Amino acid sequence: MSKLRKKVYLVAGYNTISMGTGRKEFNPKKERAGLEQYMKEAGQATLKMIGGPDNVDECVIGNFIASRFNGQANMAAFFPFIDEGLMYKPATRVEGACATGGLALLAGVKSILAETADVVLVLGVEVQNTVKAIYGADYLAAAGWAKDRKNGHAYFFPGQFSDRAGAYYEKYGRDKTRQAFAKWFSNSIENARLCSTAQEHHNSAKDLTALGMMEPNGKSFVDHLNVFDCSKVSDGASSVAIVSEEGLKRIGIPLSEAVEIVSYGHAEADITKPPIDRTELTTFKVAAKQALDNAGITLDQVATAEVHDCFTIAGILATEALGLANPGEGPDFVLAGNTARDGKFPINTTGGLIGWGHPTGATGVHMAVTIWEQLTGKAGANQVAVPSDKPYGMSVNMGGDDKTLVAIVYKKN
């Protein structure tokens, strides 16, 4: 695939609070906002920024598994609930496990490229705090191969990534790797504390490194990761508008408040097969390279990236898959402070999946919103420098255990 055949822009990003344990407002024993309320909040916020529903040509909703967590399918039909002005507008629901949000963005991009729309409202949502964690882990296991579930860990995906961590320890050493996991966790929480919508915004723990270094206990959880190595169960929604040059004029938003989507990479691996190498994210590497090659740029031109750190081991492996560090040297790269907000290559500036939260279907859209905020100077306390020679941002959204990957490159105007 070459560069996109016409200009495509992303504007009007919005995130609800990522709700769950860690937020002061969260109480599992009290009634909380439902799926439809998160959708309405996010959808209406973006509609307000783009001049209302009359400006929308198409809608896309990204949701992984509301049919299990909420007993709700047919998600596209919620758009008229968000705003009556969306009645009878074409709408589509997409799903790709934890990469659902990224796929929703691509659906919007492709509608612009196909010239079936000039303004596409894209929304991602997931509400997962409806069941106990052990049942939720079983629902989320649908992102993997169903026939592996019977023999998998009770906490299926923590077990999968624990196996990756164990393989990495064996190949490259445990002590430094554990220290890097703790550093990744610390960076995530420190960034989340500055972001008012982050699930860990209220985290006041004094010694984050000590928490991160807590020894894993396979008898109570998994063998090679502790609970702080994992993203939490989250409820939330994120929304954006994907627009053409004509659409940008229609909604009356200046170019300075939009970012250009210049390329993407999309790769799928065989869900029925185990990882090629548990110490590498091979499909991630393919999608990221596609996106960079299609943009005609190198990582040296990227100011900041959002990567899919569902677990700290995924964060470390992401630095290597991007090419920031050689295999086995991801821990050194992270421990040197390079991925911190003030580091050489800031990653996950609002906390990522571990700090901001992981409402599954919304995660890829949240990544795009964070990059939009950074490249337009709207990131507030989380803002990082975007030098003129580094006008690009990047997001890499992963579904399953390195099975569905969506990488997108964005450019500051």
Q: Which of 234, 242, 206 is nearest to 125 (CA)?
A: 234
- 247: Cβ contacts below 8 Å, ≥ 6 apart: 9, 55, 57, 112, 117, 118, 119, 241
Query: Which domain covers residue 114, as residue numbers?
Result: 1-413
Q: How far is residue 181's CA from residue 199's CA, in Å, rounded to a whole number?
A: 19
Tell me 273's DSSP state: S
Q: What pLDDT does 2 receive?
A: 60
* Orientation angle between helical segments 175-192 and 312-322, nearest 10 degrees: 100
In the block, tokens 């909604």 appear at 251
Q: Which of 309, 321, 323, 306 is nearest to 372 (CA)?
A: 306
Evaluate if pTM is beyond 0.85: yes
Tokens matching residue 250: 């229609």
Q: Is there a contact between 201 and 23 (Cβ–Cβ < 8 Å)?
A: yes
Q: What pLDDT does 392 receive?
A: 98
Tokens matching residue 61: 């909703």
Number of folded domains that form the chain: 1
Q: How far is residue 192's CA from residue 355's CA, in Å, rounded to a whole number?
A: 5
CATH no. for residue 22?
3.40.47.10
DSSP H stretches of helix in 198-311: 208-212, 245-251, 282-295
Q: pLDDT tens track of the chain, all 413 residues?
A: 567 989 999 999 999 999 999 999 999 989 999 999 999 999 999 999 999 999 999 999 999 999 999 999 999 999 999 999 999 999 999 999 999 999 999 999 999 999 999 999 999 999 999 999 889 999 999 999 999 998 889 999 999 999 999 999 999 999 999 999 999 999 999 999 999 999 999 999 999 999 999 999 999 999 999 999 999 999 999 999 999 999 999 999 999 999 999 999 999 999 999 999 999 999 999 999 999 999 999 999 999 999 999 999 999 999 999 999 999 999 999 999 999 999 999 999 999 999 999 999 999 999 999 999 999 999 999 999 999 999 999 999 999 999 999 999 999 99
Q: Is there a contact between 412 and 259 (Cβ–Cβ < 8 Å)?
A: yes
Q: How far is residue 48's CA from residue 53's CA, in Å, rounded to a whole number?
A: 8
